[in-house]
């Protein structure tokens, strides 16, 4: 039974294919079987889609393109017939004077309805490639950037003289061996991705692949056969149009270059900084950069050129262009859409509307410092500008069911205006409810219920009920409801009237309180 793979891994397969890699090479790099890789490549080829157009597709469109009934990918008679001939064709091709064109002519003679020459050569080449037993790692210009943290650490000193260890990140491009070094607070995902971005900016371009060791911040789950890449690191690679190829477990040659660079860094940078004190990362990294430039500009052993010379002459122009926009890491959560048609972003205690047909569905929320995106089964169903005000609601009217859309008009101003139309005492009471620290929806419902009493008992009773509740410092719908049901508002009106009658009338012969001061 085939297992659905991540959309980013499918994109990785197509990108590697576009870079000239064969199915066997891709299979080794993405840790999938060659038949699985061939199946996805066949689907892509049959679509007739360009690479540029493919990489513009959303996750939902990629899923629709690849995840259909398996019967669609059953081998055709032409494919089955040609595959039976491949072992013999390859043997004959080794003979002197035999060409692929000769083999194709014989094939078409036996199978007039068979493949054309382009597809024939493609199938034959894939078969030949699969029979090559050795994969040789070459450091081609612009091919890979190797990244890791050093085993030893540097330290910062605070005002009290206490020392705190900091991590040291190292990146090296394979062909020229130009190196980048930076001190960071930790090996956490945020620091790791940021230093990878700084390295790309330092090199002024993007390699075809980034090769990390099996760091927790890069690889969620290590494996000899198929490592699981951290989703945020995968998104970073997608942003810069590169590929993540974790070093294989128990394969020291995969990371030998960066480990060699780390040993050199100990001598050329760590040793120079050993007797110095640094109080913050900025000054430490400034010192590292100075030592790093000396390291990169020093001639290589028994060579007349340096890493920098080799980079500028050979590798720099082979790097892909940088994305002018910096990468902003998005965080991800899975939540259920509430019955009100909103999702809650717990980190801000803020609510965002979702189309009402997704009520009770589980959705994926991706959010950055300025944007909130909501997905259901790879489909983007809502986008909002991120807001950080607690207990508030961000609403798009079209998301609400028609019978609920009037709720989106509710606001403090809306209820205060209705209350003022009745009396300022009612408006004062409504304002106290709106000022209380409660969820907006709860406050709005309370206000709506209180104002609705105006139609049931009239303005006079509602005004007196609000005055009485205000004098008691009790602000809720239930308070007003209780007063009106018990008739306390009527007694309060009578007592207020009697108190006003007992007040001493104003007279010019009566001394005021100011007289006794």
pLDDT at residue 252 in the model: 47
Q: What proportion of the chain, given as a percentage, has pLDDT over 90?
A: 22
Work out the number of other CB atoms within 10 angstroms of the CB of residue 501: 6
pLDDT at residue 11 in the model: 86
Contacts of 516 (CB under 8 A, 6+ apart): none
pLDDT exceeds cutoff 90 at 335: yes
pLDDT tens-digit readout, 184-197: 988 888 888 899 99
pLDDT band at 219 (very low <50, low <70, confident <90, very high): low
Lowest-confidence pick of 58-67, 202-211, 466-475, 499-508: 499-508
Q: What is the dihedral of CA 206, 211, 214, 215, to 10 degrees?
A: -30
Top pLDDT among 95 and 320 is at 320
Q: What is the DSSP letter of 352?
A: E
pLDDT band at 503 (very low <50, low <70, confident <90, very high): low
pLDDT at residue 133 in the model: 39
Give the distance, in angstroms, between the CA of residue 41 and the centroid of all CA atoms in the same chain. Answer: 27
DSSP string, 354-423: --GGGTT-EEEEEE-SSEEEEEETTEEEEEEE----TT-EE--GGGS-GGGGGGGG--HHHHHHHHHHH-
250 phi, psi to nearest 5 deg: 65, 25
Top pLDDT among 249 and 308 is at 308
Work out the number of other CB atoms within 10 angstroms of the CB of residue 207: 27
pLDDT at residue 515 in the model: 43
CA distance 83 to 107: 12
Which of 115-129, 393-407, 408-422, 462-476 tops mean pLDDT?
462-476
pLDDT at residue 304 in the model: 74
pLDDT tens-digit readout, 52-108: 778 878 777 788 777 653 434 445 778 888 888 887 787 666 554 668 888 898 888
End-to-end CA distance of the chain: 96
Work out the number of other CB atoms within 10 angstroms of the CB of residue 383: 12
pLDDT tens-digit readout, 12-66: 898 888 888 888 888 888 888 888 889 889 888 887 778 877 887 877 778 877 7
Of 439, 443, 428, 517, residue with least CA distance to 477: 443
pLDDT at residue 170 in the model: 93
Of 393, 428, 418, residue with least CA distance to 408: 393
Asked if residues 206 and 317 have their Cβ atoms less than 8 Å apart, the reply is no
Top pLDDT among 431 and 91 is at 431
Give pTM, 2 decimals. 0.49
Q: Which bin fits 278, alpha (ψ -120 to 50), beta or left (φ > 0)?
A: beta
Over residues 151-163, mean pLDDT: 87
């Amino acid at each position: 039974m085939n297992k659905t793979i991540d959309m980013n891994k499918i994109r990785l397969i197509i990108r590697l294919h576009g870079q000239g890699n064969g199915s066997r090479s891709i299979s080794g790099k993405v840790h999938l079987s060659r038949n699985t890789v061939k199946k996805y490549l066949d689907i892509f080829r049959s679509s007739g889609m360009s690479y540029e157009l493919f990489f513009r597709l959303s996750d939902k469109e990629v899923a629709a393109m690849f995840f259909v009934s398996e019967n669609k990918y059953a081998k055709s008679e032409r494919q089955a017939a040609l595959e039976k001939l491949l072992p013999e064709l390859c043997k004959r091709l080794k003979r002197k004077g035999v060409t692929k064109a000769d083999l194709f002519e014989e094939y078409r003679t036996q199978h007039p309805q068979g493949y054309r020459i382009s597809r024939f050569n493609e199938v034959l080449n894939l078969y030949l490639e699969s029979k090559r037993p050795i994969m040789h790692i070459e450091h081609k210009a612009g091919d890979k950037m190797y990244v890791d943290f050093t085993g030893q650490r540097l330290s910062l000193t605070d005002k009290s003289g206490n020392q705190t260890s900091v991590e040291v990140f190292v990146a090296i491009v394979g062909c020229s061996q130009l190196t980048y070094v930076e001190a960071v607070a930790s090996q956490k995902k945020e620091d790791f991705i940021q230093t990878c971005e700084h390295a790309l900016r330092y090199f002024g371009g993007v390699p075809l692949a980034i090769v990390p060791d099996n760091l927790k911040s890069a690889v969620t789950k290590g494996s000899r056969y198929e490592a699981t890449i951290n989703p945020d690191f995968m998104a970073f690679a997608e942003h810069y149009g590169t590929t993540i190829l974790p070093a294989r477990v128990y394969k020291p040659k995969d990371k030998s270059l960066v480990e060699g660079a780390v040993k050199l860094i100990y001598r050329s940078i760590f040793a120079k900084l050993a007797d110095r004190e640094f109080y913050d990362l900025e000054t430490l990294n400034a010192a590292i950069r100075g030592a790093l430039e000396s390291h990169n500009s020093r001639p290589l052993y028994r060579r007349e050129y340096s890493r920098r010379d080799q980079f500028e002459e050979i590798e720099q122009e082979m790097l892909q262009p940088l994305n002018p926009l910096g990468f902003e890491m998005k965080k991800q959560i899975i939540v259920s859409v509430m019955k009100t048609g909103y999702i809650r972003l717990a980190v801000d205690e803020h609510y965002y509307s979702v189309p009402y047909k997704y009520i009770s569905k589980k959705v994926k929320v991706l959010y950055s410092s300025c944007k909130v995106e909501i997905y259901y089964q790879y489909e983007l169903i809502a986008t909002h500008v991120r807001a950080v005000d607690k207990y508030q609601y961000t609403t798009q009217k079209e998301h609400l069911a028609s019978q609920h859309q009037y709720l989106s008009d509710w606001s403090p101003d809306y209820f205060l205006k209705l209350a003022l139309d009745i009396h300022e005492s009612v408006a004062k009471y409504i304002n106290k409810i709106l000022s209380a620290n409660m969820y907006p929806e709860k406050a709005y419902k309370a206000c709506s219920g209180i104002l609705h009493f105006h139609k049931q008992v009239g303005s006079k009773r509602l005004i007196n009920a609000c005055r009485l509740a205000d004098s008691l410092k009790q602000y809720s719908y239930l308070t007003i409801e209780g007063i009106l049901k018990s008739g306390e508002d009527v007694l309060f009106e009578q007592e207020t009237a009697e108190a006003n009658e007992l007040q001493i009338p104003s007279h010019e012969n009566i001394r005021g309180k100011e007289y006794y001061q």
